[in-house]
Amino acid sequence: MNVFGITGWKNAGKTGLMERLVVEIIGRGYTVSTLKHAHHTFDVDHPGKDSHRHRIAGASQVLLASTERWALMNEHRGTQEPSLPELLAKLDPVDLILIEGWKRDSHPKVEAWRAETGNPLIAPNDPTILAVASDIGLEIDRPVFDLDDTAVVADFILEYLDLTK
């Protein structure tokens, strides 16, 4: 399974870069799935809907399906959050899984970084960050790409994973 991450602090441009990378890499003929970590409570369900009512009633899993898509919701119900490998194992095989978040896991990553946020770079202290995508030029010991140059970032990821077609 080919896994590559986009990491960085809040408002660094991670989600925009992820979105553009999905479009770019799919456009090159690859299949891509994504995995996003949220540090806060989130819900993909809506109060009042049948599936929400099932969850609130105590169901451990609720699978919602239609002609367009299906979604499986799992409630932890007091159990520990699954690890990244456990979550990856739940995904169907694709050419590439792009991961947003999971700063401290050991998969290869590109750090998204914007000067205006005032946050420090993560890369100097993290060998799993192989490159930085930034809105300004940086002097560090690994490649630095323009945050908006999606094609170059995609080239780097695909070459690193030896996924060139």
Helices (H) and strands (E) in the chain, counts: 4, 8
Strand partners, 72: 63
Indicate the Cα dihedral angle 33, 36, 41, 42, nearest 10°: -40
Asked if residues 154 and 21 have their Cβ atoms less than 8 Å apart, the reply is yes
The whole-model pTM stands at 0.87
CA distances from 135 to 53, 100, 130, 131, 145 (A): 45, 19, 17, 13, 8
What pLDDT, on a 0 to 100 scale, did the predictor assign at position 38? 74
How far apart (Å, rounded) are the C-alpha atoms in residues 98 and 34? 5
> What pLDDT, in 10s, does the model give residues 56-65?
888 877 888 8
Q: Which of 40-49, 58-67, 71-80, 123-132 has the lowest mean pLDDT?
A: 40-49
Of the candidates 100, 118, 96, the residue with the CA atom closest to the CA atom of residue 19: 100
Sketch out the chain's domains with CATH numbers. Answer: 3-160 (3.40.50.300)
The pLDDT tens digits of the residues spanning 83-131 come to 999 989 989 999 999 999 888 899 999 999 999 999 999 999 999 999 9
Strand partners, 74: 61
Q: What is the pLDDT of residue 40?
A: 64
Identify the band that residue 43 occupies on the pLDDT scale cut at 50, 70 and 90: low
